[in-house]
Amino acid sequence: MELNGSVVIITGASSGIGSATARHLAARGAKPVLFARRAAELRRLADAIRQDGGEALVVPGDVTQSPDVQRLMRETLDAFGRIDALVNNAGMGGGLNLCDTRDDLLRQVLEVNVLGCALCAKYAVPHLPRGGVIVNIGSVAGEVATIGMYTASKFAVRGFNDALRREVKGRGICVVLVAPGFIRTEMTAGLRYNMPGPDIVARAIERALRSPRRKIVVPWWYRPLMYLGKIPLIADAIFGHPKTQARYRDRDSVKKLSV
């Protein structure tokens, strides 16, 4: 897909990977449509993009609410007359372990991470041209089972991504899964690992839009780990180890990821 002049809807654009992606794509001539619940954050981001000479549209809303998602498509078409791509990025953590996680959060993580992708794709597909692209943000946790309901949601995103690719292939629309490892954002603020910032994912999303393929794992060094983690004996030994599980019971992290 040609980025210059393209209209790209980015959900979850108010922080982290979504915000970095909006700035990155705008700097390359795309017109990002910024969607999330925190309107003030979106407006600040749009101002920054305009100051850098770019164009952006702000549409506040919730990915789990069908009327909000339909309004997102309508306002995008009213403003720009077209939609070239959708980046399904909005997401949330689901608590680091099952027993410490509130019941309402267990429900919400599925609604935001899975239903949100489905609603946005459902209402974007009829407007996407041949050569249009949908990028779904999965996770390495959607390849190797690690953290409870979050993992379940990202396994679901991966399945949804593949099924959607097959459903819209005949329309000439490409569907790409971008699966990040740990990235330093608000979502991981409570974790003490070393991790890269969100720009590395923004660059992967740019690659996904310019030359779509099935899946991009980012950073690349998660790929060998990911394949090792798919061998059940090895995965159980690593992720079921008491030391790993003790990290998942880190109270600070659980608190942050449960907000």
Ligand X SMILES: NC(=O)c1ccc[n+]([C@@H]2O[C@H](COP(=O)([O-])OP(=O)(O)OC[C@H]3O[C@@H](n4cnc5c(N)ncnc54)[C@H](OP(=O)(O)O)[C@@H]3O)[C@@H](O)[C@H]2O)c1
CB 176 within 8 A of CB 213: yes
Distance CA 208, CA 206 (A): 5
Nearer to ligand X, 198 or 229 (CB): 198
By CB under 6 A, residue 84 contacts ligand X = no
Least separation in angstroms between residue 174's CB and ligand X is: 19
Contacts of 128 (CB under 8 A, 6+ apart): 83, 84, 85, 86, 134, 168, 171, 173
By CB under 6 A, residue 90 contacts ligand X = yes
- In this structure, the strands spanning 57-60 and 85-88 are unpaired
By CB under 6 A, residue 120 contacts ligand X = no
Nearer to ligand X, 172 or 221 (CB): 221
Catalytic site includes residue 248: no
Could you tell me if residue 138 is left (phi over 0), alpha (psi between -120 and 50 degrees) or otherwise beta? beta
By CB under 6 A, residue 36 contacts ligand X = yes
Q: Which stretch binds ligand X (CB under 6 A): 9-17, 119-127, 211-219, 226-234?
A: 9-17
Nearest of 257, 5, 9, 258 to residue 133 by alpha carbon: 9
By CB under 6 A, residue 182 contacts ligand X = yes
Least separation in angstroms between residue 147's CB and ligand X is: 11
By CB under 6 A, residue 148 contacts ligand X = no
Nearest of 99, 95, 201 to residue 149 by alpha carbon: 95
Nearer to ligand X, 2 or 61 (CB): 61
Distance CA 183, CA 197 (A): 6
By CB under 6 A, residue 112 contacts ligand X = yes
- Please give the residue ranges that form the binding site for ligand X (CB under 6 A): 11-18, 36-38, 41, 62-64, 89-92, 112, 137, 139, 180, 182-183, 185-188, 198
Catalytic residues, which ones? 150
